Every structure is written in structure tokens, then in C-alpha cells.
């Protein structure tokens, strides 16, 4: 027997009912309503312009078939039907878009395993539900353990929409028109824990013989990975992988960017309502936001050619490096440079490394660490160091007594720069060997943080020895310790930024919920959305980081590729023949259940057309090409790269534009060219949307001809990171000479002019033949994008740049890169919109609706369902009782509770018949457990709240609810002070409650056993019963109408269940007693969990 842990999950799927031609329909109908004739439209068609004039006639035919146009063939005229005309007159194109862009929504339910997230249909999972059939675990049971936490499971689910549709609505798959554009319109919600169990069959005679049920065949790959022992294989030794939990900032930002720039494009109301609810839930977790800000650091991307890295090094040496426009208070006293190679031929007096080091103050001490990452013997390394030092001192005599060049203890490939000011740089760039004129693409991350610099220094210290060096490092650490930021100052700033973000979000949500006239609020929508984005920016500009060594980088790739949902971008100097192994590539392809993911690879330091290559290098290139070809055979058009080296020295892996590893290690040549780990490596894993997207955009722009998405991909969620980043580069080019400019260079027209001037009028003296060809490719791409967008391309880039956090949000049409500082005063001065006149939130509207349907005042209009429910309720009079159970630690002390108001309570647990009447359908319940008078089950606390909401808006309804914990125990006891409603004689329990003793292991109708003295049935046992409030801490103090917390994830259930033994030896598990409380996750759905209703009386109302 094998038992697999799993969960039920739920989500909405929207099925668009509009055609791919709908955008044309909208444009043509608008033109006709504005008075243009068909002849005029054919001569000058509106955007989007069809590629073929024949399409115009096809569009007209489709509009006639839809019944929206009435043709007059004799006059060659077309009249728009009155309904469409009326909609247009009232709301213009906005209202017309809402009418044309219709969709239907289906709520889907599935089961997924807790190891890999592989889905099954709920019906199939229930067939193997072990809870119904197993009195005890069999001796030969193999129990698999979950590999993912509940939160990580939900976050990392990446299931192909076609698979989801096929599992819960297979008939929809036949309708290609609908499913091909269907999408999830809500996040996955956890519906409850549910393990499945199955019996293997047959004997093991080979790997390909199936020994699991055919209905579970989709789980076989997962079982081979996590439980090969069931197939007769030895279990794998699973090493600890690199784990990273997505932050609250990333989750919030990814949800917020789903809001379009125009409110009229919010067509799926269900989808955006779920996004709003998720944003509200995330912003409510205040402590996580504060902790994120306090524990994260400011950092910036560095991605370009070698010259830019030397510029940053110069600023670090001078003490002039700007981070958020702030420079250090003084010049650095100590600097460490860690380089894997030395190249004396790349030392020059007036530029490069020597020029940067000359800028250090006269008292600064410089330590250059040579990692000797080549195969030279020790004696030769000493000669290299001596020659290198002599050349530097010759070119810059003032460094003679301040520079020390040493070798590391172990071979190292690390590239690090540290200053005693807390400035740091980790990259692919070698400060000791790089040519200042090199055109190789490099990538790195830099920032200023004394705390983080101490972490990096600790790594450096591990590979050094010698008393003099140890003393130097000790002094370095003392200086850094003195510069650590005061935590209390960060705390105040974090609370301020959180408060403003919270206020701006509440304003934005109120605007969305309070108005249905989109035309009236477009400007307020733009402003309110801009406010949320700019209040989020202080959090986005900080990043969580983690140092990664040579043994962890592979784990980073494995875990992040498995959890990625969209795109992976890998840059590597070398590509070894085994680097792109099939396991890695198959993880990208997925097991057939995941959404499609794309891989971009930027590789190859060598440039074949520029110099003669050695036989060894040619063999490496041959191996690299074979690896690329093998990857192409598996990924097809999901892979973007080149078969030729791309003049790259950067080493990074970026995931979904959110997370990334920037490293010194060749990520596609594990262990170096020999395939073994001979050198130390160091990388930095970051979670920062703008920084990762900046590096991705600049790397794409570097080799746009090979890495740019094709036109088909661009129409499916294309994000123009490369053009936004290049526009920001033009901005900084202006900023360098801003004192000489007499115009606002952040204006969009100047940014557009700079982009087009670079593309159309390049300086031929600055480029070789290859660069000239690359610029032609960039120009062609730019023109294609312009044609595709049709509207102002620079405005499109500006809006997308703000949406994806690469530009600072503003409504003034100014291009301001996110790198520019965001000051507290800017956030303070933002005007948060007051949304008083746009209507109340949905909850308030619902409350008013309920108040209008007061059952006490309009009984004559009462819905028959309400009358039926009230006929099965009993009045519970106010009174007092002793609550709790002193024999059970969790439920003591016993204390006096006063119930001050009468209330009605249902005689019975809510039945399946009543649930179906209110909700329209039953939950997923196996056929054998379906019966009108059975209790309803497989419902969560949140499902019950939805049931009550729908019940309370029926005519003559209102004021139905779950009982509080105190109300439930008061009603259960019915005046009894004993363990049960009938006293302490447990032998009488089977007269009042269904349990494992008398239920014959099956569910029964409600109300078949004895009631308590107040006429309530099954209180002690049939189903665990949910109550309204969460766990309340008991004290000896008397209380009136106590109510526990209402906002935690853990609720309470009361009473016993038909499948449980009532008298276990461990008293804490005797749930059939009046005073025993059972903690219960609110998301849980179980075949033993249900509820009963209460209702306020006339006096209470």
C-alpha cells in the first residue's frame, strides 16, 4: 500500500467568449457610430490596420452574423442595431468594450500531491480516499512525506491551463475557441488536506511494468522521483537543496502589475476581485513588511562592458560612489580587490585599474588578492605577483607603500571589491586582468551596507593567512562595525512607508469597488494606481540577498527552475558539453502539466571572427555547440540563443524577472572546464524585481538579434525590458552633462530622440562591422515594435516601465529611472484620493441589502427556504453556565460565562439538501456519501461564510450566523454540568452520538438519535461542527458573551465525529465531551466536518 499526501485546490477559470477579431469589431463599430461610411473605413481603416483588405469584408460579415449590423444591400449601407447604439451613446468605447469582451467564469476544483504539485481530478482522487476504508494502517504501508509546505505548494503551482480544464471540464477541451484563450482568474486556494492511498498490483519485472492503478498513471513520474523503492529501486539520497521563500513584496508587486493602465481593460471582474482580495490579505501582514525593509539592503545593477566597472571602482576608491544620491562621509581607509587572474599587459597609467587606484586617498591601504585560478605552479605565481606589483608601482609610484598583492590559500575564481566605507561589488568582472577597452559583456551587483560587507569579508577571510593580513582584516572589520546602520531609524522609516502604502492601496480598492462607470474614474484610477506604485517603490528598491558558494549554484538552478513559471535567462562564459543536461532541460519543459517556460542563454567569451583560436578553444566551442543543439532538440522554439559565441563574460541566472543569481562561476560549465570543483566561487542571490529586470533588459539589448522574442511571443505578454533599460541609459547620458543643458531631458520626446538618434545616426568610427550589423538589427526591431504598438511607442514604453517597476511612477510624462532616489518627503507629499462620493465598498453594500431584508419586518415576503429553516430551529434562552473542562489542559480553567441574549439554533446540522438549495450545487462528495438528509461536508470555514452570505440576502432572511464557541457549548450542555449533556455516564453516549462504536463506519441522516434537553440533535457526535470564533485563552474571570479572535487562520470545531473512537486513553482526544475544543484550520475540508446555524432573535435585532 502507498499513501500520498495531498490537498484539494480551487480556482476560477475565465473562458473568453469573444473572437480574436473582437478588437477589429470594436474599432469598426465605433467608426460607423461616429458617422463614417464603409467606403471611408476601407480607404483609411482604423487601428489595428488589417494586413489584407479582404479582412475588412470578413469583419463586416462577422458583425452581420453576430447581429450587430443590419445591411441595406441596395444602398450598400450598414446600420448598427439600436442596442449597441444605446450602449455607445451612454458609455462610449469603454462601455462598448465591456459589451464585446464578454466571458464566462467556472469554479474548478482539483487534487494535487504535496510532493510535486501534480494534479488529479477530484472525482479520481476521492476514489482512492483512504479515510473511508481503512480502520488502521496496514503493516506494508509506504507513507510518502510532503516535500513542500502548504504555502510553497500554492505559490509554486504552475499547471498548464489545458490540463486543469481537461480534469474538471473535459467537454470544454473540444471547444478550442474557448480553452485556447482561457486563463486563471483567481489564485489557487487551498481547499483542505486529503491523502490518497492505493494498492500496487503485479510483480516487479522491469522498470516499464506498471504497478500502480491506471487511473493514477499521471503520478508515476513523481513516484519515480520521490519513492523509487515502490518500483524495486533503492531510495535516492536527497541532499539539502537551496531554499528561498518568495517575499511578501514580490507577491504584492506581481499582483499589482496585473492592473492595466486603462480601467476599461479590466474585463474579468472575478479575476481582479480576487487580486484585490489577495492584495488586502498581503497588506494586512504588517510585521512582514517591516521585517522585509529592516533586513534588506539597497543595491544596484551593473551590466555592461569593462569600462563601466572601472568607473564604479574609481568612485569606490575616491569615496564618491552614489547610492540613492548619497556618498560616504569620508574617503575609504582600506580597500580589498579579489581577482581570479592577473594580466600585466592590461595595466595602463591613465585608465583602467591603475587609474582607479591612483584616486584613493594617500593614507588608504589597498589589498589585492590573487586567486591564481589558472594552472600555474606556485613559483610562477610568485613571479606573476612580483611582476604585476612592479608594473603598477612603475605607473603609479604613490601606490608603492600602500598596495599589497598576495595570493589566496586555495585556488579561487571569486571577483569581489570591498571598501571600509561599506561599499561592495560582486561580479563576473576581474579587476586584475580585464582590459579597459574590452567589449565583453559583464554583470555584477553593487551597493553600500556595512552589515553585508562584513558577511562578504568573512568569506574572503576564510581563504587568507598570515599575521599581517589577519591584522589588516581585523582593522577592516572594526571600521565596518562602526558604520552599521541604527536599526531604530530603519524601523521608523519602514513603518512610515508601510503606512503610506496601506493608505494608498485602501484608496485604490475603494475606487474600484465603489464605481461601475469606468469613464468617470479613468483619471482617478490612473492617479490612484500611480500612488500605490510609488508607495511600493521604497520596498522594491531594497533587496533580500544571500551569498552562494560553488557547491550551491547548481542547487539554485535546480530549485529556481522547478519553481519558475515563465522565463529563465542564463549567462555563462563557457558552456560545457554536459552543462545543459537533460534533467535540467526537462525541468524547463515540465512533466506535461506545467505552463510553458522559455530559456534564454547568453554565452561565449570568444569571438571567432576577431582572432585566431587555439585548437583547445575550438574543441570547447564544438562541445558548446553540441550542447546548444541538444537543448534545441528538447526545447524547440522555447530556447533563444545562438550557435555562435556571443562575446559574453557575464555569469548569472535570472528567474521570472524577479530573482537572480549573479556569480563568478560559469553556470553552464560546472566545476570549470575540467568538470570538477577546483576553485572557490562566490555569487549573490537576490530578490529584486527592478534590479533583475534591469540586468535582463540590458543583456537582451546586448545581443538583441539572438535574444529578442519573436513577433508571436511579443503578442503574448511581451515585456519590453530591453527598450525601457536603453531609454534609461539615454537618460543617464543626459544627466552626465545636465549642467550644460537648458531643457528638461526627462521629457519623453528627448528620450525618444536620443533612442532614435543612436539607432538611425550611429557614429561609424565607434563600431566595427559586427557592431554596425547589431545596430541595424536593433533598428529593425525598434521599427517593428513601433508598428506593432501603433500608438506613441515612447508613451507605451513609459507606461510599461512604470507598470513593471523600471521607471519611477509619475503622471507628468517624465522618464525617471527607478535607480533615481525616492525620498521620504516625496511619499509624504502624495495626495491620497478620498473616495467618499464613489460609493461604499462591497461589504457595506451587502450589509445594507441585508438590513433591507430584515426578516422581522417583512415576514409576509419570506422565502420558503427561510420558513423551512425556522421550523427546524429552537429558541435558546439567555442564561449562564460553567464553560471549559479542568481535566484537559487546553480547555481549562472552568469559568463562568453569561449568555445575555436569546438566540435561535438549528435542531440539526445543515443538510446536503439545504446546502444545494442555497448554493446551487453540492461540494465534491462521493456518490455513496450523498443523501438529502446527510450532513453536508467537504466544506471549509470560508465556504460556510459564503453559504451564510447567500442565505442572508434571501427575501425575509438576515442575521443567520455560526454559533460562537460559548454559544455552542452553552446549547450543547443544555443545563448539564457534567462531561456530557446527560451527565458523566459515558455508556449512554451511543444513544446521543454517532461514533466509531455505533456508526458502522458510515454517515447517517441527521436527527436519528436522542436530542439533548433543549431539543438539539447530534451535538455530541455525527460531524465535527464549526463555530464562528477562533481559539480564546481561558481565565478564571467571569465573562459575558465572549467571542474569540476572528482573523486568524486557525478556527475551532466542536463535538465528535462518526468515524472516531470517543474514549481514547489520551484524554485530550476525547472530543465528544461538552467542554472539549478542537483547533481546526479554516482552509480544511473534511468528510467529518460540518456546521449548524444560529439566528438572532427579535430582541437582539
* Mean pLDDT for back-to-back runs of 10 residues, the chain (1101 residues): 87 77 78 81 71 70 81 76 85 75 80 88 80 60 81 74 78 57 77 81 49 79 79 58 79 92 72 83 91 92 94 94 87 94 92 91 94 78 93 94 92 94 95 91 94 95 93 94 76 93 92 63 87 96 91 84 86 86 76 70 71 76 89 88 89 94 87 55 94 95 76 54 95 92 93 92 68 82 77 89 95 93 89 55 36 38 87 95 90 94 96 94 86 93 92 88 96 94 93 93 94 95 94 92 87 92 86 90 86 83 55
Pair 113, 2: CB distance under 8 Å: no
pLDDT of residue 204: 43
Fill in the DSSP letter of residue 672: T
Residue range(s) occupied by CATH 1.10.10 in the chain: 18-100
- Residue 12 three-state SS: strand
Beta-bridge partner residues of 304: 442
Pair 969, 1075: CB distance under 8 Å: yes
Burial class (CB in 10 A: 0-12, 13-18, 19+), 524: middle
Site of grid cell 539592503: 297
- C-alpha cell of residue 641: 540563443
Among 774, 793, 791, 772, smallest CA distance to 782 is for 793
Question: Rounded to an integer, what distance in angstroms lies between the CA atom of residue 567 and that of residue 536?
Answer: 24
Query: Strand 567-572 vs strand 598-603: parallel, antiparallel, or unpaired?
Result: parallel
pLDDT of residue 235: 59
Among 607, 600, 535, smallest CA distance to 774 is for 607
pLDDT of residue 675: 45
HSE-up of residue 911 (Cα within 13 Å, Cβ side): 19
Beta-bridge partner residues of 80: 69
Fill in the DSSP letter of residue 430: -
Among 168, 230, 240, 169, smallest CA distance to 203 is for 230
Pair 215, 121: CB distance under 8 Å: no
**Contact residues for 1085 (Cβ-Cβ < 8 A; gap 6+):** 8, 191, 192, 194, 923, 937, 938, 939, 940, 943
Question: Rounded to an integer, what distance in angstroms lies between the CA atom of residue 631 and that of residue 1027?
Answer: 56
Distance of alpha carbon 63 from its chain centroid, rounded?
A: 40
Which backbone phi and psi does 747 adopt, to 5 degrees?
Answer: -60, 140
Question: Rounded to an integer, what distance in angstroms lies between the CA atom of residue 324 and that of residue 322?
Answer: 6
- Write b or e for each residue in 354-382: b if 16 or more Cβ atoms lie within 10 A of its Cβ, otherwise e: bbbbbbbeeebbbbbbbbbbeeeeeeeee
Identify the helix (H) or strand (E) that includes residue 70. strand 69-72
| Residue 849 to residues 517, 844, 854, 956, 958, Cα–Cα distance (Å) | 21, 9, 9, 11, 9
Residue range(s) occupied by CATH 3.90.1580.10 in the chain: 845-1096
- Longest alpha-carbon distance in the chain: 103
Assign 3-state DSSP to the chain and report helix, strand, coil percentages, each to 5. 40, 15, 40
- C-alpha cell of residue 271: 479575476
Question: Rounded to an integer, what distance in angstroms lies between the CA atom of residue 216 and that of residue 196?
Answer: 10
Q: How large is the angle between the packed helices 248-256 and 689-702, nearest 10 degrees?
A: 60
Tell which CATH classification among 3.30.870.10, 3.40.50.10800, 2.40.110.10, 3.30.230.70 matches the domain 547-687: 3.30.870.10
Give the number of other Cβ atoms within 10 Å of residue 304's Cβ.
19
Kindly report the three-state secondary structure assignment for every residue of 613-667. Answer: CCHHHHHHHHHHHHHHHHHHHHHHHHEECCCCCCCECCCEEEECCCEEEEECCCC
Which backbone phi and psi does 765 adopt, to 5 degrees?
Answer: -75, -15
- C-alpha cell of residue 950: 447567500
Taking CA 850 as the corner, what is the angle to CA 846 and CA 853, rounded to the nearest 5 degrees? 145
Q: How large is the angle between the packed helices 248-256 and 286-295, nearest 10 degrees?
A: 110
- Residue 444 three-state SS: strand
Beta-bridge partner residues of 295: none
pLDDT of residue 711: 44
Contacts 24+ apart (CB under 8 A), 583-586: 584/557, 584/558, 585/630, 585/631, 585/634, 585/635, 586/634
Pair 859, 1083: CB distance under 8 Å: no
Pair 348, 354: CB distance under 8 Å: yes
Pair 924, 126: CB distance under 8 Å: yes
**Contact residues for 458 (Cβ-Cβ < 8 A; gap 6+):** none
Question: Rounded to an integer, what distance in angstroms lies between the CA atom of residue 1020 and that of residue 1029?
Answer: 19
**End-to-end alpha carbon distance in the chain:** 56
Tell me the Cα Rg of the chain. Answer: 34
pLDDT of residue 384: 92
**Per-residue DSSP letters for 528-549?**
HHHHHHHHHHHHHTEEEEEEEE
pLDDT of residue 535: 96
The runs of H, that is alpha helices, within 684-834 are: 689-702, 704-707, 711-714, 721-736, 748-760, 769-789, 793-803, 824-829
0.85 exceeded by the pTM? Answer: no
Q: Is the peptide bond between 823 and the residue preceding it cis, with omega within 30 degrees of 0?
A: no
Q: Is the peptide bond between 697 and the residue preceding it cis, with omega within 30 degrees of 0?
A: no
**Per-residue DSSP letters for 27-39?**
HHHHHHHTT--HH
Query: Strand 1024-1026 vs strand 1089-1090: parallel, antiparallel, or unpaired?
Result: parallel
Pair 959, 933: CB distance under 8 Å: no
Tell which CATH classification among 3.90.1580.10, 3.40.1280.10, 3.40.50.720, 3.40.50.300 matches the domain 845-1096: 3.90.1580.10
Residue range(s) occupied by CATH 3.30.870.10 in the chain: 547-687
Query: Strand 416-419 vs strand 189-193: parallel, antiparallel, or unpaired?
Result: unpaired
pLDDT of residue 990: 93
Question: Rounded to an integer, what distance in angstroms lies between the CA atom of residue 806 and that of residue 810?
Answer: 12
Q: Is the dihedral of CA 396, 398, 400, 405 positive or negative?
A: negative
- C-alpha cell of residue 416: 569581489
Class of domain 18-100: mainly alpha
Amino acid at each position: 500500500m502507498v499513501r500520498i499526501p495531498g490537498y484539494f485546490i480551487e480556482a476560477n477559470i475565465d473562458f473568453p467568449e469573444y473572437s480574436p477579431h473582437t478588437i477589429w469589431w470594436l474599432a469598426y463599430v465605433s467608426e460607423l457610430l461616429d458617422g463614417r461610411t464603409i467606403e471611408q473605413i476601407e480607404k483609411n481603416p482604423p487601428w489595428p490596420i488589417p494586413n489584407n483588405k479582404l479582412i475588412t469584408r470578413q469583419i463586416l460579415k462577422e458583425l452581420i452574423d453576430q447581429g450587430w449590423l443590419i445591411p441595406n444591400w441596395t444602398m450598400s449601407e450598414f446600420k448598427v442595431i439600436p442596442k449597441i447604439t444605446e450602449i455607445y451613446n451612454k458609455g462610449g468605447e469603454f462601455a462598448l468594450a465591456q459589451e464585446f469582451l464578454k466571458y464566462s467564469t467556472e469554479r474548478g476544483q482539483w487534487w494535487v500531491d504535496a510532493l510535486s504539485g501534480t494534479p488529479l481530478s477530484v472525482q479520481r482522487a476521492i476514489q482512492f480516499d483512504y479515510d473511508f476504508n481503512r480502520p488502521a494502517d496496514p503493516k506494508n504501508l509506504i507513507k510518502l512525506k510532503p516535500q513542500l509546505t502548504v504555502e510553497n505548494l500554492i505559490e509554486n503551482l504552475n499547471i498548464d491551463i489545458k490540463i486543469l480544464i481537461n480534469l474538471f471540464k473535459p467537454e470544454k477541451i473540444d471547444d478550442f475557441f474557448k480553452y485556447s484563450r482561457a486563463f486563471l482568474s483567481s489564485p489557487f486556494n487551498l481547499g483542505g488536506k486529503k491523502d490518497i492511498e492505493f494498492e500496487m498490483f503485479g510483480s516487479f519485472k522491469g522498470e516499464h511494468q506498471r504497478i500502480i492503478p491506471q487511473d493514477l498513471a499521471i503520478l508515476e513520474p513523481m513516484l519515480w522521483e520521490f519513492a523509487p523503492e515502490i518500483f524495486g529501486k533503492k531510495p535516492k539520497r536527497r541532499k539539502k537543496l537551496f531554499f528561498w521563500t518568495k517575499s511578501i513584496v514580490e507577491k504584492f508587486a506581481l499582483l499589482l502589475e496585473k492592473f492595466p493602465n486603462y480601467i476599461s481593460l479590466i474585463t474579468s471582474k472575478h479575476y481582479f476581485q480576487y487580486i484585490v482580495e489577495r492584495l488586502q490579505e498581503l497588506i494586512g501582514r504588517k510585521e512582514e513588511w517591516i521585517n522585509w525593509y529592516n533586513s534588506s539592503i539597497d543595491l544596484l545593477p551593473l551590466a555592461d562592458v569593462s569600462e563601466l566597472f572601472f568607473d564604479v571602482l574609481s568612485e569606490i576608491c575616491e569615496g564618491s560612489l552614489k547610492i540613492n544620491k548619497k556618498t560616504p562621509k569620508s574617503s575609504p581607509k582600506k580597500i580589498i580587490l579579489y581577482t581570479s587572474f592577473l594580466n600585466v599587459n592590461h595595466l595602463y597609467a591613465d585608465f583602467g585599474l591603475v587609474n582607479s587606484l591612483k584616486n584613493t586617498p594617500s593614507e588608504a591601504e589597498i589589498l589585492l588578492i590573487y586567486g591564481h585560478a589558472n594552472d600555474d605552479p606556485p613559483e610562477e605565481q610568485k613571479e606573476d605577483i612580483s611582476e604585476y606589483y612592479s608594473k603598477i608601482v612603475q605607473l603609479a609610484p604613490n601606490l608603492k607603500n600602500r598596495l599589497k598583492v598576495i595570493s589566496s590559500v586555495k585556488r579561487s575564481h571569486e571577483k569581489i571589491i570591498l571598501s571600509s566605507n561599506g561599499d561592495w561589488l560582486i561580479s563576473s568582472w576581474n579587476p586584475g586582468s580585464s582590459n579597459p577597452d574590452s567589449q565583453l559583456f559583464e554583470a555584477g551587483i553593487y551597493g553600500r551596507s556595512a552589515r553585508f560587507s562584513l558577511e562578504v569579508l568573512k568569506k574572503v577571510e576564510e581563504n587568507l593567512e598570515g599575521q599581517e593580513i589577519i591584522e589588516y582584516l581585523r582593522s577592516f572589520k572594526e571600521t565596518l562595525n562602526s558604520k552599521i546602520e541604527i536599526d531604530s531609524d530603519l524601523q521608523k522609516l519602514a513603518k512610515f512607508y508601510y503606512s503610506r502604502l496601506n493608505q494608498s492601496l485602501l484608496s485604490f480598492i475603494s475606487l474600484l469597488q465603489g464605481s461601475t462607470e469606468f469613464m468617470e474614474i479613468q483619471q482617478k484610477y490612473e492617479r490612484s494606481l500611480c500612488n500605490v506604485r510609488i508607495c511600493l517603490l521604497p520596498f522594491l528598491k531594497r533587496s533580500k540577498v544571500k551569498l552562494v558558494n560553488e557547491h550551491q549554484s547548481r542547487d539554485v538552478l535546480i530549485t529556481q527552475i522547478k519553481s519558475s513559471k515563465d522565463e529563465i535567462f542564463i549567462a555563462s562564459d563557457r558552456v560545457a558539453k554536459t552543462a545543459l543536461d537533460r534533467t535540467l532541460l526537462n525541468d524547463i519543459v515540465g512533466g506535461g502539466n506545467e505552463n510553458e517556460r522559455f530559456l534564454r542563454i547568453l554565452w561565449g567569451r570568444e569571438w571567432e571572427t576577431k582572432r585566431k583560436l587555439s585548437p583547445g578553444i575550438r574543441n570547447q566551442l564544438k562541445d558548446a555547440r553540441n550542447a546548444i543543439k541538444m537543448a534545441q532538440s528538447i526545447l524547440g522554439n522555447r530556447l533563444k540563443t545562438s550557435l555562435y559565441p556571443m562575446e559574453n563574460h557575464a555569469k548569472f541566472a535570472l528567474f521570472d524577472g524577479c530573482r537572480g543569481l549573479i556569480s563568478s562561476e560559469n553556470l553552464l560549465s560546472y566545476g570549470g572546464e575540467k568538470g570538477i570543483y577546483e576553485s572557490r566561487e562566490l555569487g549573490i542571490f537576490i530578490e529584486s524585481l527592478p534590479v533583475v529586470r534591469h540586468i535582463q533588459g540590458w543583456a537582451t539589448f546586448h545581443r538583441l538579434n539572438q535574444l529578442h522574442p519573436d513577433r508571436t511571443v511579443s503578442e503574448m505578454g511581451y515585456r519590453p525590458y530591453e527598450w525601457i533599460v536603453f531609454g534609461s541609459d539615454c537618460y543617464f547620458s543626459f544627466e552626465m552633462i545636465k549642467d550644460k543643458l537648458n531643457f528638461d531631458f526627462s521629457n519623453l520626446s528627448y528620450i525618444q530622440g536620443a533612442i532614435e538618434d543612436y539607432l538611425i545616426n550611429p557614429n561609424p568610427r565607434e563600431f566595427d562591422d559586427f557592431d554596425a550589423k547589431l545596430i541595424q538589427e536593433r533598428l529593425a526591431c525598434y521599427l517593428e515594435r513601433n508598428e506593432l504598438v501603433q500608438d506613441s511607442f515612447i508613451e507605451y514604453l513609459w507606461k510599461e516601465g512604470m507598470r513593471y517597476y523600471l521607471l519611477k511612477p509619475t503622471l507628468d510624462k517624465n522618464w525617471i529611472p527607478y535607480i533615481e532616489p525616492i525620498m521620504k518627503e516625496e511619499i509624504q507629499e502624495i495626495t491620497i484620493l478620498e473616495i467618499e462620493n464613489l460609493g461604499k465598498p462591497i461589504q457595506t453594500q451587502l450589509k445594507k441589502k441585508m438590513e433591507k431584508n430584515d426578516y422581522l419586518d417583512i415576514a409576509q415576503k419570506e422565502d420558503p427556504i427561510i420558513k423551512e429553516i425556522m421550523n427546524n430551529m429552537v429558541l435558546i434562552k439567555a442564561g449562564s453556565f460553567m464553560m471549559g473542562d479542568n481535566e484537559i489542559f487546553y480547555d481549562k480553567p472552568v469559568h463562568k460565562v453569561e449568555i445575555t441574549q436569546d438566540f435561535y439554533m438549528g435542531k440539526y446540522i445543515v443538510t446536503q439538501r439545504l446546502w444545494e438549495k442555497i448554493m446551487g450545487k453540492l461540494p465534491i462528495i462521493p456518490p455513496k456519501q450523498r443523501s438529502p438528509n446527510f450532513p453536508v461536508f467537504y466544506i471549509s470555514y470560508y465556504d460556510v461564510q459564503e453559504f451564510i452570505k447567500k442565505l442572508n440576502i434571501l427575501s425575509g432572511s438576515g442575521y443567520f450566523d455560526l454559533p460562537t464557541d460559548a454559544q455552542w457549548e452553552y446549547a450543547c450542555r443544555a443545563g448539564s454540568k457534567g462531561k456530557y449533556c446527560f451527565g458523566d455516564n459515558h455508556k449512554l453516549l451511543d444513544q446521543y452520538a454517532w461514533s466509531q462504536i455505533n456508526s458502522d463506519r458510515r454517515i447517517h441522516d441527521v436527527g436519528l438519535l436522542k436530542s439533548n434537553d433543549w431539543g438539539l440533535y447530534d451535538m455530541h457526535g455525527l460531524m465535527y461542527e464549526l463555530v464562528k470564533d477562533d481559539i480564546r485563552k481561558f481565565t478564571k474571570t467571569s465573562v459575558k458573551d465572549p467571542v474569540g479572535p476572528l482573523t486568524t487562520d486557525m478556527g475551532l470545531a466542536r463535538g465528535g465525529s462518526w468515524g472516531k473512537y470517543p474514549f481514547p486513553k489520551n484524554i485530550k482526544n476525547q472530543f465528544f465531551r461538552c467542554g472539549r475544543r478542537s483547533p481546526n484550520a479554516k482552509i480544511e475540508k473534511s468528510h467529518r466536518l460540518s456546521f449548524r446555524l444560529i439566528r438572532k432573535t427579535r430582541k437582539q435585532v
